[in-house]
Amino acid sequence: MSQYPDSVEQLIEFFRTFRGVGRRGAERYVLSLLDWQESKIREFGSLISGIPDKVGHCPECGSLAEKGRLCEICENPRRDVTSICVVESFAQLQSIENSHVFKGVYHVLGGKISPLDDEYGENLNLASLPERIERNQVKEVIIALGADVEGRATALYIADMLKDCSIRVTQLSQGIPAGANIAFADSATIGAALKNRMEL
């Protein structure tokens, strides 16, 4: 097997860190990248190096957003701010959006409670949720987390946190899949799980 130049090898190692990309896949990405025009390579590089300055979290819901700005959903006056759907991450938000059933807004936790990993919710985007509920006179919080142990623990934690707010707290009739790809293919199921949501 011939050796790649060091700088190419380093690039391959970066691509390998993507979920689902193995050594061969990483090599294919890098080899096709090396076929690009110089200007395209430079543009790609500057987009990546600009991420820390340009990409941040929506100050309202915690979703992905241009740094210092609201996300598209929070900016959209047609979304119903009295209905909040709590999700783990942006990938799950996208799967719910793809089902075209939900017209409210989101609250993105950025993780789940996982006692085994000593994660008890301190690092989750939860502190602002009660304030959002009060400010927007929220009527319902829909908890759309996975049906795994962590998802259930997180759902119960949030339900307990909101027990003194006089709002409806519901959850999907089934958990949403963890992998975004599965979820994308399965938006009909997610739509049905949303319509058939149950009190928590």
CB 151, CB 95: distance < 8 Å: no
CB 174, CB 147: distance < 8 Å: yes
**Distance of closest approach, residue 60 Cβ to Zn ion, in angstroms:** 4
For the segment 104-163, give every residue that binds Zn ion (CB under 5 A).
none
Cα distance between residue 144 and residue 88, in whole Å: 8
Q: Out of 60, 88, 142, 176, which residue is the one contacting Zn ion (CB under 5 A)?
A: 60
CB 142, CB 85: distance < 8 Å: yes
Cα distance between residue 102 and residue 85, in whole Å: 8
- The torsion defined by the Cα of 89, 94, 96 and 101, in degrees rounded to 10, comes to 150
63 touches Zn ion (CB under 5 A) = yes
Scanning 24-32, 52-60, 172-180, 191-199 for contacts with Zn ion by CB under 5 A, the matching segment is 52-60
**Distance of closest approach, residue 116 Cβ to Zn ion, in angstroms:** 30
The pattern of x and - marking residues 67 through 106 that bind Zn ion according to CB under 5 A reads ----x--x--------------------------------
For Zn ion, which is the closer residue by CB, 74 or 180? 74
Relative orientation angle of helices 187-195 and 90-98, to the nearest 10 degrees: 80
For Zn ion, which is the closer residue by CB, 25 or 111? 111
Residue ranges that bind Zn ion, judged by CB under 5 A: 58, 60-61, 63, 71, 74
